[in-house]
A = this chain, B = another copy of it.
Amino acid sequence: MLIVQKFGGTSVGDLDRIQNVANRVSATKKAGNDVVVVVSAMSGETNKLVRYAEHFSANPSRAEMDMLLSSGERVTASLLSIALNEMGFDAVAMTGRKAGIVTDGHHTKARIEDINPEVMNAAVKEGKIIVVAGFQGVNENGDVTTLGRGGSDLSAVAIAGAIKADLCEIYTDVSGIFTTDPRIEPKAKKLNQISYDEMLELASLGAKVLQNRSVELAKKLNVNLVTRTSFSDEEGTLITKEENIMEAPLVSGIALDKNQARISLMGVKDRPGIASDIFTKLSDSDVNIDMIIQNKAHDGTTNIDFTVPVGDLNDAKNIVDAFVASGDIEADSYNEKICKVSVVGVGMKSHSGVAAKAFSTMAKENININMISTSEIKISMAIDEEYAELAVRSLHNAYELDK
């Protein structure tokens, strides 16, 4: 098999851990596989460099940040390649440039536009182990760019797609994807398999193992993704397309997102296009809106409630307050003490009754559901934050995810 293995900052956090990674790569290679490794910076390094930059400027220029931050991954890649060479392998370290990763021009959050896999393919053909510095590429001017948060995962997935790898293993400090957060429900079980779409829902709902950008790219490029831990030999979770999953369970997991705030708009004037005005302005300011409820009041005005990530709340407030000031909205209010609990599962597509069970479970626990949103494969409920853990445990139990 041709396997891409990606090791994050914690997995390469010190020299002993880098040696540990070398041993793991060695075992994979010795088992007869071809291996391309993608590494992050040693944990703490990127933050240190960011602190250094912030010492000089609150708003450092982005091209300079990319030249600065891309250095951490180069260090890890060189060291790992040196370790592998010492162990008798023919290893070669590559920068993002050398690996052929071409991005757009958005410094510090570039998007991968293309990968020219010729250099990597040739090295694999020669039996070499390639160690790529993750998180980075070059734009059309040949300047270094970085891919933003989770960038090394993206590098790994994009490379796996470009070289047509059989598997892309993402090593982190957790052993896979769980039916829910084990810190909330100790009976949570690790999933062997999950579909891209379920993973996307779980990730956007608070499961922090993988970022959506990486899962989306894996789905697009049809890359079989595995998340597993670098600290043991435990099998991880395979994220693949739905057709590859033999028996999809009704529900795969329960996700919790505490990072939500609710905005309530009272007495929105009954004027055509006003809701559109409000949400266009919010969207232009990159405020991420999730659930929306709209109720018509008896006096002809409308109440609109919606949720946003807590981080977007201030931007949203400024926009909404302006509508209140202009008289288009009578009043607004905010509630940060809410959370979103979600039930996720591809099985929902073909089974009814999943939503009914969620609502009845909440009712049994006397938890009031403030808002509901659904998709083909998930049901999300906004509830008071104080009931978050109770709701997760009850749902986990109701869908028998510990079995």
Contacts and interface: CB of A to CB of B under 8 A. Distances in A.
A171 to B, nearest CB: 19
Contacts of A194: none
Interface string A136-153: 000000111000000000
A83 B78 CA distance: 28
Nearest to A59: B86
B85 A67 contact: no
Interface stretch (A49-57, A182-190, A353-361, A365-373): A49-57
Contact of A82 (B56, B75, B98): B56
B98 A143 contact: yes
A226 interface: no
Contact of A61 (B22, B52, B65, B81): B81
A82 B63 contact: no
Interface string A15-32: 100110010000000000
A222 to B, nearest CB: 31
Contacts of A63: 92-93
Contacts of A82: 53, 56-57, 60-61, 64-65, 68
Contacts of A53: 78-79, 82
Q: How many copies does the complex hold?
A: 2
A60 B52 CA distance: 29
Nearest to A82: B60
Contacts of A81: 61, 64
A63 B92 CA distance: 8
- Secondary structure call for the A interface: helix
Interface residues of A, number: 38
A77 interface: yes
A86 B74 CA distance: 27
Contacts of A144: 95
Query: Residue among A61, A72, A83, A95 with the most chain B CB within 10 A?
Result: A61
A15 B79 contact: no
Contacts of A85: 57, 60-61, 64
A44 to B, nearest CB: 14
Contacts of A18: 56
A302 interface: no
Nearest to A90: B61
B60 A68 contact: no
Given A64-B82, A78-B68, A56 B92 contact: no
A86 B53 CA distance: 11
A78 B74 contact: no
A19 B78 CA distance: 30
20 contacts: A15-B52, A15-B56, A19-B56, A49-B75, A53-B79, A56-B86, A57-B82, A57-B85, A63-B92, A64-B78, A64-B85, A67-B74, A67-B93, A68-B74, A71-B71, A71-B75, A95-B144, A97-B142, A98-B142, A98-B143
Given A67-B74, A68-B79, 5 more contacts: A22-B56, A63-B92, A64-B85, A71-B71, A71-B74
